[in-house]
Chains A and B, each alone.
Chain A
Amino acid sequence: MSIGTVKRRGFSLAEVAMASAVLAVGASAVLGVVSQVGARRADSVARSTGVLLASDLLTRIAILPLADPQTGVIAAGLDAGESAVTDFDDATDFAGYNEPTIVDAGGAERAGMEGFTREAEIEWLLDASGSSVSLSPTSAARITVIARWRGKPVAKLTTIRSAAWDGGKP
């Protein structure tokens, strides 16, 4: 029997403690990043969806004439006999429009869009430069659509519509 040649196969307590501490820090960092990625992904999905929702509403507004087809008059807000979105027949009907739950052009609620809202604003332009606005309707309107997710704006799109397009379109 020989003494003094003992082989030490395990880890010391200090080593284990140090490794555990380092791993804990690393794991918490990774978990933090994973959590951040998840949040970013949710934001990104919300933002992308919001852009599509805003684009959809803006397109629906922009294809309509500026003047009411029944009266030929450009007037802000709803015309007589119009109340539901399905009644809207000119772009100016969407002045101050607010959609607390997302609906399609037929007024039916869209599934899977919980938490999203969208709204439209119309400003009346005094000239094509867009630098001067009027309180009363003119022949040109700046239309802005904002989509929100849980109250936070996630997309904002703007265009200009002119009555000259209605008169000058093919």
Chain B
Amino acid sequence: MKRKGVAMVAVVSSLALAAGVAMAGLIIARRLGEAGASLESVSAASAAARGAIDASLESAVNSKAWRTAPALPERIGSAEISGVLSDPADSDLTDDYNEDVRLTVTASQGDARRMLRVTLTPNLVPHASMGYGVCVLGNMTAASGSFASTGRAYVGGTLTVPMTPLPVGATSGYVVGVSTAAPDQIGAVSAASQAAVLPKRTDLAPSLISMATRLPVTNSLSGALLSSSTNSVGGGLSEMGIYIIGTGSENITLEKCRINACLIIEASRLTIGDGVVIDPPAGMPALIVIGDARVDGNSAMLSEVSEARNFNPLGTPYSGVSDIDQLDTYAAEIDGLMYVSGSLVVNGRLSVNGSVFVRSNLTISGALTVRWAESATGPMGFRASPAFMVKRGSVERVVE
């Protein structure tokens, strides 16, 4: 009997067909599942990358530390986050803190990766306190001294000024107006609508103190010339023009100096004597005192002859003028912002072309003259938050 095996061929063929259909079905099912997961991963990575930009803005400080290593969350949801900063202008992130930075964030989830890039511009809008010529969070007493300011003064505590009726119930402090009658008088005093806020030492640490070059000075700085290109004291040059003295526990005297830089003094008490000229670079505060300060000097001029030093050599001009002689004299003034974290006593004469901020009390028994002018940008450390603004139209998706 001949068996041709037709039935077996039919069965095997059917099985092969069924197996093929089953395999195809399984592959399709797997692909469908992967497609759904892939779409979720892409969407999750996209949302996380966008969130990482917000997180970077939240943590941004215009400091060396942040510019070198911006703080970002490790994860947003299930997406891993990483980010890098670059300088679109000159590839040097720390040579100029007024330059833009470019942030590239990457969010990864599963096989999906989303990269977003944004350009951040330093926020140069001045801190609200820069609207005052004088801002004192504590008490201000000028009963026996002379006080004149071309800008309004804010006093958070008790205000004692001669011949001026005070408003009742000024729970948020006082605003002392500018006199229109005479330059050595003050204007009307009114209740402040809201309490003023001044930065604390911890607020100034990232943007100013941590970037300062420390000078080997213990108790007295006299006859010195400091700028970003000149340092007669030793301790190295600060390219940004920020120098710091003291550890916070000693008394320091400052006299007969020209500081073409921002000077930070951490002392129990700083005494400012005669002949102190401070004219920092643009965008920098003039004098930051972490501690108390006292002005004993009487605005005697700084003299190159007396100090046997040229205070405006090449590279450190004064009002745009440099020379090689030692014949010049300079008005003892502070051009810019003077900040005192403790109390300030003006026993002698203090002339400031900018603002005076005192976190504790201001007592004037000598003469304080403040020539305030509104500025479009605040000095470093005294700018509004956030530290950076998003440059218009700069958010872009990066495709590798």
**Interface residues of A, Cβ cutoff 8 Å to B:** 8, 11, 15-16, 18-19, 22-23, 26-27, 29-30, 33-34, 36-37, 40-41, 43-44, 47-48, 51, 54-55, 58, 62, 125, 127-131, 139-140, 142-144, 155-165, 167-170
Contacts and interface: CB of A to CB of B under 8 A. Distances in A.
Which secondary structure dominates chain B's binding surface? Answer: helix
A164 B18 contact: no
19 contacts: A19-B7, A27-B18, A33-B29, A41-B32, A43-B33, A44-B32, A47-B36, A51-B36, A125-B58, A128-B56, A128-B72, A130-B73, A130-B76, A156-B78, A159-B51, A164-B57, A164-B386, A167-B384, A169-B390
Interface of B: 1, 6-7, 10-11, 14-15, 18-19, 21-22, 25-26, 28-30, 32-33, 35-37, 39-40, 43-44, 46-48, 50-60, 71-79, 120, 123, 384-386, 388-394
B53 A165 contact: yes
Contacts of B28: 37, 40
A26 B48 contact: no
B14 A22 contact: yes
A30 B120 CA distance: 58
Contact of B32 (A29, A40, A139, A161): A40
Most buried by A among B50, B58, B59: B58
A117 B203 CA distance: 45
A155 B7 CA distance: 51
A61 to B, nearest CB: 10
A162 B18 contact: no
Contacts of A55: 43, 46-47
A157 B44 contact: yes
Contact of A159 (B48, B56, B390): B48
B26 A33 contact: yes
B10 to A, nearest CB: 6
A160 B26 CA distance: 38
A139 B30 CA distance: 43
